Amino acid sequence: MKTIDQIAQFFNDSEYFNGGVKLNENLATHTTMHVGGNAKLFLEPENEESLVFAIKELKKLDADERRCTRIKSFFVLGGGSNVIISDDGLDAVISTRKMNGIDADERGLTQIKVDSGSSWGSVISFCKKENLGGFEGFTGLSGTVGGALYMNATCFALSACDNLISAEYFDSRDGKIHVYEKKESDWGYKKSPFQSADFRRFPQIILSAKFALKPGFDSQKSEQCMASRKEKGHFRAPSSGSAFKNDAAHGIIAGKVIDECGLKGFSVGGAQIAPWHGNFIINPEQKATASDIKNLSDQVKRIVYEKKGIILENEILFI
């Protein structure tokens, strides 16, 4: 039976894994809400090959309890901007943040290939430098490209899929790398083809994506989007962005409904509905726990249903 230390040493010694290997890593430092327990094993692959190798090896440990009883599950983490990780922590976490390359198409066309762990800040900086337009609406957006595609992040009338051409992903069900060619019918509001009910057990991990952009970076629009985020209080306190999904088809704006129920400033433990925005759950004094946030979310959903008859759906993921 392998111990956690032995598994960590295995990755350190393997010629097939390049990247960081850490034990008992504090996951609160890897999420924008600043909550979560420790990861017994924390891997930071530097390339696609290392990421795929790590997933395959951890799935072997998950399937064969005789080899190790401590690794029961693992989670692939991007920027940590849309997740609340359990106070109890996780057995193993694979971070994509070191997979952060951005390259223009070698033919000189307005296409870029972006690794899944790239931050949107780095993408915007690249587009500004290369004078490429199309992603100005994501200025100031937290998280990574892979996470945004998985959730199909949407803001300022821009969705992560809008400029997408294709994506390369690893399917843990068959252990192979595939290329997904964009189909409009696969995408919707906060919906992507990479989501599934069993994503924790059989995840489809986005490795990289190709996007079609246009000549000319709109600096004014980029600055306006950043100013709007600041005005709405996106950066005033640790949060995970919008806590609940809107239902535009029925004219339901989550923040407005929560405000109408008098819940701005409502708190449970160290977690609070932002006094300035009904759809932000914040950690104002960085004393909140994941349990506080989950309990607050559940109470908000209950109160809104009792007062409005509206069922709110979480946008943030509780891991």
Architecture per CATH, 4-95: 2-Layer Sandwich (3.30)
pLDDT value at position 63? 55
CB count in 10 Å sphere of residue 200: 13
Look at residue 86 and tell me whether its pLDDT is greater than 80. Answer: yes
pLDDT value at position 197? 53
pLDDT value at position 3? 86
Contact predicate 63/39, CB 8 Å: no
242 is catalytic: yes
What average pLDDT does range 23-34 have in this prediction? Answer: 97
What average pLDDT does range 71-81 have in this prediction? Answer: 87
pLDDT value at position 8? 94
Task: Spell out the domain ranges in the chain.
Answer: 4-95, 102-215, 233-318
Look at residue 76 and tell me whether its pLDDT is greater than 70. Answer: yes
Architecture per CATH, 233-318: Alpha-Beta Complex (3.90)
- pLDDT tens digits, 152-190: 999 999 999 999 999 999 998 888 999 999 999 999 988
Partners of 279 in the beta sheet? none
- pLDDT tens digits, 216-243: 999 999 999 999 999 989 999 999 989 9
168 is catalytic: no
Of 19-28, 150-159, 286-295, the least confident? 150-159
pLDDT tier, 303 (very low <50, low <70, confident <90, very high otherwise): very high
- pLDDT tens digits, 197-222: 555 556 789 999 999 999 999 999 99
pLDDT value at position 173? 84
Q: Are strands 111-115 and 102-104 parallel, antiparallel or unpaired?
A: antiparallel
CATH 3.30.465.10 fits 102-215, yes or no: yes
Look at residue 65 and tell me whether its pLDDT is greater than 70. Answer: no
What average pLDDT does range 73-79 have in this prediction? Answer: 90
What average pLDDT does range 55-80 have in this prediction? Answer: 76
The mean of the pLDDT values for the chain is 92
pLDDT tier, 251 (very low <50, low <70, confident <90, very high otherwise): confident
Distance CA 133, CA 215 (A): 6
Look at residue 121 and tell me whether its pLDDT is greater than 70. Answer: yes
Nearest partner of 86 among 233, 276, 290, 231, judged by Cα: 290
Percent of the chain exceeding pLDDT 70 equals 94
pLDDT value at position 108? 59
Please state the pTM of the whole predicted model: 0.92
User: Of these residues, 242, 260, 267, 291, which one is catalytic?
Assistant: 242
